[in-house]
Structure 1
Amino acid sequence: MKIKGFTLDLPVPENTVPLVFDSPHSGTEFPDDFSSPVSSEKLLTAWDAFVEDLWAPAVSQGASLLKAHFPRVYIDPNRAPDDVDARDVDGTLPFTCKPTVYSERGMGLIRKFALPGIPMYETPLTAKQIMDRIDTYYTPYHTALTERLETLHQTFGSVWHIDCHSMKSKGNAMNIDNGQPRPDIVLGDGDGTTCEEGFIAVIEDSFRSKGYSVSRNVPYKGGYLIRHYAAPTRNRHSMQIEINRAVYMDEQAFKPNNHYQTFKQDLSDLTKELCAYIRDAIDPSLSTPIK
């Protein structure tokens, strides 16, 4: 199902498990109203390159996959809708701005810097421009994710959500780990608050068994998406996977490297393990074999 701004890929009904992947930063399609002095190459550094393709096999295994087409530098679905610094707006928004540390670093709902010291815009966006982006892209993306999670939760009594990202191999000055090399995989669950431990353990064990280095919650604990949708006490589990881009791509050329297909298969194997875990966890009468 493709709608302006995003695509939601669904498994066949008889093979469905209550597992949703979403890729909020996979978009590269800039809307017609976008204008910036920043070069395309610099803008691409914010792109979660190829993430939607890496996780695509999950759909044939029973999971759902939501992927944004609009870029995060246009508007960021992984930020709260009021994570805006009013000082960066030309005019007055129809809500109270509540900027977080993301906005302070220039990475709030509306991106302020493409890279450290490189402003996204020559002049502030108007309140109308920001509201148009919220209404046309941000809200529909969240509505689609909300409805899919709710449908699966109502059907199965539980739902698991994985927010999918990629990260530069080293942090920059806009990150909390500036200049530090990063592990292959970072699993974020808000320091154990957004997802049940068993699910996280399956993911960590799978990556480690294949030789990848794995960290939990350092440097990423998970952003707005997992914190907003998680409610473990109500069997709604949400966590974030950050993949080091050096694992699967040439970061300078923005192209897949020689390990790309192997890594994609490793993710496919992981998804099979997660689907099996979920089928064991839910009511057996609602479970169907992996086709």
Structure 2
Amino acid sequence: MQVVTGFSNTDAFDLLRPAQQCVPFVFNSPHSGRDYPDAFLRASRLDTRAIRRSEDAFVDELFEPVLSLGAPLLRARFPRAYLDVNREPYELDPKMYEDRLPSYANCRSIRVAGGLGTIARVVGEAQEIYRERLTVQEALLRIETLYKPYHRTLRRILAQTHVDFGYAILVDCHSMPSAVRSSDGGARPDFILGDRYGTSCAPLLIEAATRILRDMGYSVSRNKPYAGGFITEHYGRPAKGLHALQIEINRALYMDETRTERNAGFAELASNLGQFASELVAISDGALAAEALAAE
């Protein structure tokens, strides 16, 4: 965790590029940001350990091996508790603000009702973030200066990838708490893959990802309870050659969730994810390329 004065003089996100992009894959880590504005921390009623509970800590580092495959990696520096780019741009909770929200705000989504809109009201198990209400101006400033530039960058790199290769594959990378049970009441699996119930990517992509991870000895489920958020849904247009797959990693595999520290399994998981990405690229590349050519 790093405390910053703000993002006017600090980069809000990084686009890590290989020397040359050799594959039609783009990896994205929107929730691994750990640069916390000091004013945000002062406005919060939570201590630094509690406020990090929604952070996908170290996920960007776990996927850095994809650079050696020739794939770019986009990662946020701002934390999810401050701004969530895996939401619509204006999913805002009117109870959080001193003044009235603009008419175009989506105040009725399920995510807003749960306190997890574009500007989150809670972290973890419904722990309220703020001591006092915010101004609407503050929310709109975060959206204009962080959310929109982040998505412009993501759109640009996906569009360029599509032009260069004839199709593009977005892998949206996340982690999940280990303590929460799966939707069927059983233990949470090691990985949950989401394709918005078959709508955000070609079936062969999620089938290949599932097979690779299971062959490595991991337990894998699909779409429940995480089918993919706004990013997967918004950018996944398989009929147009734009594929989006969400991957959720059980945090117990690689970190101490209480202390937000890497554990002994971190290095092995990072190595395995590098191998996973390598095999996924090899399997998907030929099949999806043939599909893209057939569509022309």
Q: TM-score, normalised by structure 2?
A: 0.89
C-alpha deviation, 1:188, in angstroms: 0.5
SS at match of 1:45: helix
Is the Cα contact below 8 Å between 1:25 and 1:72 reproduced in 2? yes
Paired with 1:100 and 1:131, the residues of 2 have a C-alpha distance of 18
Choose from 243, 252, 266 the match for 1:246: 252
Tell me how far 1:281 sits from its aligned partner.
3.5
**Structure 1 residue 85: Cα displacement:** 2.1
1:177 is displaced (CA, Å) by: 5.0
Counterpart selection for 1:57 from 57, 65, 79: 65
Q: Which amino acid aligns with 1:104?
A: A
Unaligned runs of 5+ in 2: 1-8, 291-296
Query: Which residue of the partner structure matches residue 84 of structure 1?
Result: 92
Q: How does 1:109-148 map to 2 (within 5 A)?
A: 109-148=118-157
What SS does the corresponding residue of 2:36 show, helix, strand or coil? coil
In structure 2, the partner of 1:289 is none
Deviation string, structure 1 residues 156-179 (Cα, Å, up to 9, x no partner):
11000011000000228xxx9598
Consecutive unaligned residues in structure 1, runs of 5 or more = 285-291
Say whether the 8 Å CA contact 2:85–2:118 is kept in structure 1: yes
- Whether contact under 8 Å (1:22, 1:65) holds in the other structure is yes
Q: Is the 8 A contact 1:170 1:179 kept in 2?
A: no
**Superimposed CA distance per residue, residues 45-96 of structure 1 (whole angstroms, 9 cap, x where no aligned partner):** 1110110000001011011100000000001000111211223222234452
Is 1:217 aligned with 2:217? no
Between the aligned partners of 1:282 and 1:220, the Cα distance in structure 2 is 25
* Partner SS for 1:269: helix
Counterpart Cα distance in 1 of 2:92 and 2:206: 32
Matched residue of 2:66: which SS?
Answer: helix
Q: How many residue pairs end up in the alignment?
A: 279
- 2:269 corresponds to: 263
| Identity across the alignment (%) | 38
Correspondence for 2:11: 4
CA RMSD of aligned residues (A): 2.1
Which residue of 2 is the match for residue 169 of structure 1?
178
**Structure 2 residue 213 is matched with structure 1 residue 204:** no
Map of 2:105 onto structure 1: 97
Aligned to 2:77: 69
Deviation at 1:279, TM superposition (A): 3.3
Alpha-carbon distance change, 163 to 3 in structure 1, aligned in 2, over 3 angstroms = farther
C-alpha distance in 2 between matches for 1:187 and 1:231: 17
Are the aligned partners of 1:36 and 1:121 in contact in 2 as well (CA < 8 Å)?
A: yes
Inter-partner Cα distance in structure 1 for 2:127 and 2:282:
46
Q: Which residue of 2 aligns with 1:288?
A: none
- Name the stretch that deviates more: 37-46 or 255-264: 255-264
Amino acid at match of 2:29: S
**CA drift at 1:137:** 1.0
Take 1:51 and 1:230, find their aligned partners in 2: how far apart are those partners?
21
Q: Structure 1 counterpart of 2:174, which letter?
A: H
The answer to whether the 8 Å contact 1:6/1:141 transfers is: yes
Amino acid at match of 1:27: G
